[in-house]
Amino acid sequence: MTDVTQQARRRFLKGLGVAGAVAAAPMAMPALAVSKASDIKWNKTVEIAIIGSGFAGLAAGIEAMRNGAKQVTIFEKMGVYGGNSAINGGLFAAPNTPMQQQEGVEDSPERMAQDQIKAGRGIADEVLLRHVAKHAMEALQMTLDAGAQFHPYLQQLGGHSVARTYQTSVSCGAGITQPLLKLARKEGVETVNRMKFVRFVQDDSGKVIGAEMRQNFYIDQPDSGTPYFVKASRGVIMATGGFSNNIKLRMAQDPTLTAEVGCTNVEGATGEGMLEMFRLGAVPVHLAHIQSGPWASPDEGGFGYCSNFAIYNFPHSVAIDCNTGKRFMDEIADRKTRADAELKCRYPDGSPRPPLMISSYEHADQHPNNKKVLKYGVGWKFESLKEIAAKFDVPAEALEQQVAEYNEYVRTGVDKQFGKDMTLSMQKGEIKAPYTVIRLWPKVHYCMGGVQIDATAKVLDSLTGQPIAGLYAAGEVTGGIHGVSRLGSCSIPECMVMGMTAARTIMA
């Protein structure tokens, strides 16, 4: 075992509060790094190795090439590129955008950061949030340069004080990842899939100089693939995403997030890259803050069609507790506030009773997913509130009174129940028949926790507080940026800006 390997082990064990175990049982754990770098037969040498092909990895690759890199390779664990990024909602928040100027929306990077700081409940990283907000428009421009297309309107998502969110015309993240993938390859970035990251390779000084991979890896065959060593002369950028589909790990943070709780993420979102950075001594931040999406539906798997449908319609719709026929939350509060409120909607025996979201069919049909939720039976069209009440056993009189009361808020612009921002409701008008209805129930969606980075995307060491040489990270694998709750549409700008930042830092 090399001195560097032993040091890494000591840092890892000390971080867990079991430093004494090193002396007592030095071989109790397998070596945390590979053999001496001088003994490795490298299969490939590049300037920059990027692990992960989502928003962060693709943006990093493009930016590195634009800043003078000659050899950049993106390694993807799965058989297809994009990871969670490809299946997310395609929602991108940025201040001072062309569409905001067209619609007369006043915004600024500071205002966007403040909205996120509020949702973070006092523990968000304000420096990083301001950095992302300041450069979000640059990242949005990269997507436009790549050929991404967006709906011709802005959305105001929960927790945002103004409308600042673009959404891809296909209403999913693939509307960005596919154009970015094409642009990356055009810029000269090499892409290789079915390459599972195993561990880092360090030199005698502790600098990360490469990675051990498993080539030809298949997710349904955990032991598949053969060893493959990649040397990275400038550094390694980790863009491996979160750990929402690692049931044991997420239950270690929150025991209620069992296998019975749904998840919107891809099968490969299991967090090995993050764990290996912890082995090197990276600082774990906010791992227990795991976000559930309040727009998800119990009537479909994964992210599905209802999620984007609900995100679009929440501002001008009502969420109804089936037990009472009444609203129970501000429909555009931040995600945690809404998810917590939904989880309280239960039968007397404590079992879940998913609440309803009721929208005017006329307004709902302005989003392409309206027809899809109806076609696939995860949403329903009704001609009257009495029909809705009968279908879901909701107190009919209370429901009619609630919708009438809400429509009064639409006319006056003041929500006397929950203080909802009624701007978009007033633009759409009253809720009226016919109606589109979906059921709501949160699903695990995003991990706020991960490794700590600085504003240059360098991964920090838990003992020294200094950067771990040769190691950079961006996106959901990092932690602490959003605090307790991430605002919707803020992950894409974060991933892309920090990916671009990592590339700029390396090439500087």
Picking from 441, 476, 492, the residue at the C-terminal end of a domain is: 441
Q: Are 428 and 317 in contact (CB under 8 A)?
A: no
Distance CA 190, CA 211 (A): 16
Do 283 and 412 share a domain, yes or no? Answer: no
The pLDDT score that the predictor gives to residue 3 is: 41
Cis peptide before 294 (omega within 30 of 0): no
Do 473 and 385 share a domain, yes or no? Answer: no
Bridge-based pairing state of the strands 379-382 and 435-439? antiparallel
Do 453 and 330 share a domain, yes or no? Answer: no
Do 273 and 231 share a domain, yes or no? Answer: yes
Do 57 and 41 share a domain, yes or no? Answer: yes
Q: Which two tokens stand for residue 459?
A: 């991964």
Residue 316 placed within a domain: yes
**pLDDT of the chain along its 508 residues, tens only?**
444 444 444 443 443 333 333 333 333 333 445 556 778 999 999 999 999 999 999 999 999 999 999 999 999 999 999 999 999 999 999 999 999 999 999 999 999 999 999 999 999 999 999 999 999 999 999 999 999 999 999 999 999 999 999 999 999 999 999 999 999 999 999 999 999 999 999 999 999 999 999 999 999 999 999 999 999 999 999 999 999 999 999 999 999 888 878 899 999 999 999 999 999 999 999 999 999 999 999 999 889 999 999 999 999 999 999 999 999 999 999 999 999 999 999 999 999 999 999 999 999 999 999 999 999 999 999 999 999 999 999 999 999 999 999 999 999 999 999 999 999 999 999 999 999 999 999 999 999 999 999 999 999 999 999 999 999 999 999 999 999 999 999 999 999 999 999 999 999 9
The pLDDT score that the predictor gives to residue 36 is: 62
Q: Are 156 and 421 in contact (CB under 8 A)?
A: yes
Q: Furthest-apart CA pair in the chain: how many Å?
A: 77
Do 290 and 426 share a domain, yes or no? Answer: no
pLDDT in tens, 46-92: 999 999 999 999 999 999 999 999 999 999 999 999 999 999 999 99
Q: Are 328 and 371 in contact (CB under 8 A)?
A: no
Bridge-based pairing state of the strands 443-447 and 290-293? antiparallel
Query: How far is Cα of residue 357 from the mean position of the Cα atoms in its chain?
Result: 23
Distance CA 270, CA 282 (A): 18
Do 195 and 277 share a domain, yes or no? Answer: yes
Q: Are 250 and 243 in contact (CB under 8 A)?
A: yes
* CB count in 10 Å sphere of residue 313: 26
Residue 382 placed within a domain: yes
Residue 504 placed within a domain: yes
Which residues are CB-contacts of 282 (< 8 A; sequence separation ≥ 6)? 451, 452, 459, 460, 461, 462, 468, 471
Picking from 415, 441, 467, the residue at the C-terminal end of a domain is: 441
Residue 72 placed within a domain: yes
pTM listed for this prediction: 0.85
Residue 464 placed within a domain: yes
User: Which 3 state secondary structure label does DSSP give 226?
Assistant: strand
- 231: domain CATH number is 3.50.50.60
* CB count in 10 Å sphere of residue 288: 12
- 418: domain CATH number is 3.90.700.10
Domain count, the chain: 3
User: Which 3 state secondary structure label does DSSP give 440?
Assistant: coil
Do 11 and 1 share a domain, yes or no? Answer: yes
The pLDDT score that the predictor gives to residue 23 is: 32
The candidate with the shortest Cα–Cα distance to 49, out of 181, 204, 189, 225, is: 189
Q: Are 461 and 279 in contact (CB under 8 A)?
A: no
Residue 65 placed within a domain: yes
Alpha helix stretches (DSSP H) within 167-271: 174-187, 247-253
Do 215 and 347 share a domain, yes or no? Answer: no
Q: Which residues are catalytic?
A: 335
Residue 208 placed within a domain: yes
Do 281 and 375 share a domain, yes or no? Answer: no
The DSSP string of 104-164 is T----HHHHHHHHHHHTTT-S-HHHHHHHHHHHHHHHHHHHHHT--B-SS-B--TT-SS--
Distance CA 112, CA 108 (A): 6
Element (H, E) at 49: strand 44-51
The pLDDT score that the predictor gives to residue 32 is: 47
State the DSSP code for 283. Answer: P
Read off φ and ψ for residue 461, nearest 5 degrees.
-85, 140
Q: Which domain holds residue 376?
A: 296-441
Do 344 and 480 share a domain, yes or no? Answer: no
Do 402 and 507 share a domain, yes or no? Answer: no
* CB count in 10 Å sphere of residue 507: 18
Residue 233 placed within a domain: yes
The candidate with the shortest Cα–Cα distance to 4, out of 275, 208, 228, is: 208
